[in-house]
A = this chain, B = another copy of it.
Amino acid sequence: MKNFNQTAHQIVIATRGRGLYEFTRQVMDQLGATGLQTGLATLFVQHTSASLLIQENADPEVRRDLDRFFARLAPDGDALLGHTAEGPDDMPAHIRSALTAVNLSIPIAHGKLVLGTWQGIYLWEHRVDPHTRQIHAHFFGE
């Protein structure tokens, strides 16, 4: 019989407004503390105007380009949109959330996340103003 186990953690990220915030290290550290060698890590962001992204962690210009692209695709104050009561960036934030991911599942092998060489884990804040964002992390394995 295998000796499976699971643990849950809360990750809190205070954003300074729209942009990508890497938290790969926090997930790695939490995983290391569990002692799990093989299994599955699940990250879930508990908001509808922020998302989770795995992207290149080398050139910061990549993150600026992602922002430029999404600003063109779903611009703030878009006349098409009717949900404007919470500000011109609120509905575009919901759209960005729908186009990206609220959850990530990353296998664990040899005690580590199986991230590729250039992959980092990011919270993507879609609102212009700073927010405090909650991410639930679930680790399972043996």
Listed in ascending order, the chain A residues whose CB lies under 8 Å from chain B are: 1-6, 8, 38-40, 42, 44-48, 53-56, 59, 61-62, 64-66, 68-69, 72-74, 80-83, 85, 91, 94-95, 97-107, 109, 114-119, 134, 136-138, 140-142
Indicate if the CB atoms of B82 and A40 lie closer than 8 Å.
no
Given known A6-B38, A99-B99, contact A83–B107 (CB-CB < 8 A): no
Instruction: List chain B residues, Cβ under 8 A from A98.
Output: 53, 55, 66, 100
Given known A56-B48, A98-B55, contact A91–B109 (CB-CB < 8 A): no
Instruction: List chain B residues, Cβ under 8 A from A40.
Output: 40, 42, 138, 140
Instruction: List chain B residues, Cβ under 8 A from A83.
Output: 59, 61-62, 64-65
